[in-house]
């Protein structure tokens, strides 16, 4: 009896142990599914010229981890990033690794803690993998961490698990090698190539590929023809967006003429981390509001948390404007003046435009305010051109007056007809009398 009881207890404990052990596996599978769904959503949004605003963290979350590290990529994803911008370089033995500078001295120390003053292209990966990264953005004031330089494959694995895309820069010189490696590994859909070649070279490269990768072209300068051509030609060839940059606050890349090239074709991308690339604008909500108002919808930032908070406020304003628009469209303007009805019509049109593509928080708030004011104008005081208030009672009164005038006219016409007939009869009698005489 005791042996049977022990056997049952043992079996029960075994089942419980199996269930406990399987929970992480199920959780990992669920997380993997969620990450894959999120990546697909980001890629879809990136391809959609009117898709939602997208946040790009430069080098990952450098407030906690070394730039370009796998941990920084994961932390940026947790903070809300859609993409992580990284630099890709090639070692002496043809490994692709993540490193901002060609020289390793800013970020790396050897096994003894000494500054590693060598170039990435001069060192083999196995030697490099034994080195450690300094925290944050490096230099001597930053502490040495346990993290090492990740390969591109390791970085993609971290991004894939976290549900973000990697935006690959400094990759153009060996783009075909990277393309082939990622195609072989089946991870081509997890990255975006930042193409820094001229517009013809970029277009030809994209069109030569059997499997079109996600590509963002790049142009820096102030020549309007070159900027418009760089955008239109590369977008026509299949690029999903163009990274524009200038140190001039009033550059053509911030004007309507160039930005109109993105209309229904692709995404305007801007790097807010360098004043020379964003017209001296700041990497904060003031700068974000300015560039989104101009038409940029993919922003590269060093302040991923602040950018995501700004995007959240934009989303809130979009919801409020949508609700206000739905309410305004139900308003009956039949009894309203033409002027005020047209004002509401214009406000509704402006609200629709504001909701049709990514715009700034201020633009949405202004559209919402204008819409509510137009509705309030109809509700509280809807005036005709003469300045008198039109109400339902006055409309009914006007109708009754018109009806009365019509009736009066009919009565008068009948009276006149009777008088006319009476005169005719009198004249007929007079003629008959004259004839008898």
What is the C-alpha to C-alpha distance for residues 59 and 67, in angstroms, rounded to an integer? 5
**For residue 279, is it left (φ>0), alpha (ψ between -120 and 50) or beta?**
left
Q: Tell me, what's the pLDDT at 425?
A: 73
Q: Tell me, what's the pLDDT at 399?
A: 67
Total residues found in the chain within this entry: 437
Contacts of 314 (CB under 8 A, 6+ apart): 53, 292, 358, 359, 360, 361, 364
pLDDT in tens, the chain (437 residues): 445 545 554 554 444 444 434 444 433 444 556 999 999 999 999 999 999 999 999 999 999 999 999 999 999 999 999 999 999 999 999 999 999 999 999 999 999 999 999 999 999 999 999 999 999 999 999 999 999 999 999 999 999 999 999 999 999 999 999 999 999 999 999 999 999 999 999 999 999 998 999 999 999 999 999 999 999 999 999 999 999 999 999 999 999 999 999 999 999 999 999 999 999 999 999 999 999 999 999 999 999 999 999 999 999 999 999 999 999 999 988 888 888 889 999 999 999 999 987 889 999 999 999 999 999 888 544 444 455 555 555 556 666 766 777 777 777 777 777 777 777 777 777 766 766 66
Do strands 165-169 and 132-133 pair parallel, antiparallel, or not at all (unpaired)?
Answer: unpaired
Contacts of 123 (CB under 8 A, 6+ apart): 91, 92, 104
Q: Tell me, what's the pLDDT at 320?
A: 95
CB 80 within 8 A of CB 163: no
CB 254 within 8 A of CB 225: no
What is the C-alpha to C-alpha distance for residues 272 and 290, in angstroms, rounded to an integer? 11
Contacts of 188 (CB under 8 A, 6+ apart): 179, 182, 211, 213
Q: Tell me, what's the pLDDT at 358?
A: 82
Q: Tell me, what's the pLDDT at 405?
A: 74
Bridge-partner residues for 57, per DSSP?
84, 301
In three-state form (DSSP H/G/I as H, E/B as E, the rest C), the secondary structure along the chain is CHHHHHHHHHHHHHHHHHHHHHHHHHHHHHHHHHHHHHHHHHHHHHHCCCCCCEEEEECCCCCCCCCCCHHHHHHHHHHCCCEEEEEEEECCCCCEEECCCCECCCCEECCCCCECCCEHHHCCHHHHCCCEEECCCCCCCCCECCCCCCEHHHHHHHHHHHCCEEEEECCHHHHHHHHHHHHHHCCHHHEEEEECCCHHHHHHHHHCCCCCCEEEEEEECCCHHHHHHHHHHHHHHCCCEEEEEECCCCCHHHCHHHHHHHCCCCEEEEECCCCCCECCCCCCHHHHHHHHHHCCCEEEECCHHHHHHHHHHHHHHHHHHHHHHHHHCCCCCCCCCHHHHHHHHHHHHHHHHHHCCCCCHHHHHHHHHHHHHHHHHHHHCCECCCCCECCHHHHHHHHHHHHHHHHHHHHHHHHHHHHHHHHHHHHHHHHHHHHHC
Q: Tell me, what's the pLDDT at 21?
A: 45
What is the C-alpha to C-alpha distance for residues 289 and 55, in angstroms, rounded to an integer? 14
Q: Tell me, what's the pLDDT at 435?
A: 65
What is the C-alpha to C-alpha distance for residues 393 and 205, in angstroms, rounded to an integer? 72
Q: Tell me, what's the pLDDT at 334?
A: 86
Q: Tell me, what's the pLDDT at 175?
A: 97
Phi, psi of 267 (to 5 degrees): -105, 140
Six token digits for residue 37: 């769904």
Do strands 241-245 and 108-109 pair parallel, antiparallel, or not at all (unpaired)?
Answer: unpaired
Q: What is the value of pTM for the model shown?
A: 0.80
Q: Tell me, what's the pLDDT at 421?
A: 73
């Amino acid at each position: 009896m005791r042996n049977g009881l022990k056997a049952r207890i043992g079996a029960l404990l075994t089942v419980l142990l199996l269930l406990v052990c399987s929970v992480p596996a199920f959780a990992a599978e669920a997380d993997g599914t969620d990450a894959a769904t999120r990546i697909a959503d980001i890629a879809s949004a990136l391809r959609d010229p009117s898709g939602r605003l997208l946040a790009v963290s430069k080098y990952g979350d450098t407030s906690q981890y070394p730039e370009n590290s796998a941990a920084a990529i994961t932390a940026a994803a947790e903070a809300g990033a859609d993409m992580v911008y990284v630099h890709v370089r090639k070692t002496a033995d043809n490994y692709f690794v993540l490193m901002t500078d060609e020289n390793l001295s800013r970020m790396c120390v050897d096994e003894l803690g000494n500054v590693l003053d060598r170039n990435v292209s001069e060192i083999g990966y196995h030697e490099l993998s034994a080195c450690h990264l300094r925290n944050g953005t490096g230099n001597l004031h930053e502490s040495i961490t346990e993290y090492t330089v990740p390969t591109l494959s390791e970085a993609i694995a971290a991004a894939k698990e976290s549900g973000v895309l990697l935006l690959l820069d400094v990759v153009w010189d060996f783009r075909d090698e990277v393309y082939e490696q990622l195609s072989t590994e089946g991870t081509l859909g997890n990255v975006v190539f930042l193409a820094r070649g001229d517009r013809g070279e970029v277009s030809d490269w994209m069109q030569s590929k059997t499997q079109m990768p996600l590509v963002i072209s790049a142009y820096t300068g102030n020549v309007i023809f070159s900027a418009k051509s760089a955008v239109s030609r590369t977008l026509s060839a299949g690029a999903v967006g163009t990274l524009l940059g200038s140190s001039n606050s009033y550059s053509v890349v911030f004007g309507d003429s160039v930005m109109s090239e993105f209309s229904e074709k692709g995404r305007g991308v801007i790097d807010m981390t360098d004043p020379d690339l964003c017209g001296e604008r700041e990497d904060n909500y003031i700068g974000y509001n300015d560039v989104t108002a101009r038409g940029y919808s993919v922003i590269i930032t060093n302040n991923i948390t602040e950018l995501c908070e700004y995007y959240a406020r934009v989303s809130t304003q979009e919801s409020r404007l949508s609700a206000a628009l739905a309410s305004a469209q139900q308003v009956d303007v039949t009894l309203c003046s033409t002027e005020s009805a047209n004002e509401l019509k214009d406000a509704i049109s402006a609200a629709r435009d504001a909701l049709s593509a990514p715009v700034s928080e201020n633009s949405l708030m202004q559209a919402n305010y204008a819409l509510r004011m137009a509705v309030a104008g109809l509700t509280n005081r809807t005036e005709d051109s003469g300045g008198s208030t039109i109400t339902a009672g006055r409309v009914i009164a006007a109708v009754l007056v018109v009806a009365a005038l019509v009736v009066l006219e009919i009565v008068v016409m009948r009276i006149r007809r009777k008088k006319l007939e009476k005169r005719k009869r009198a004249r007929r009698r007079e003629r008959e009398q004259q004839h008898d005489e």
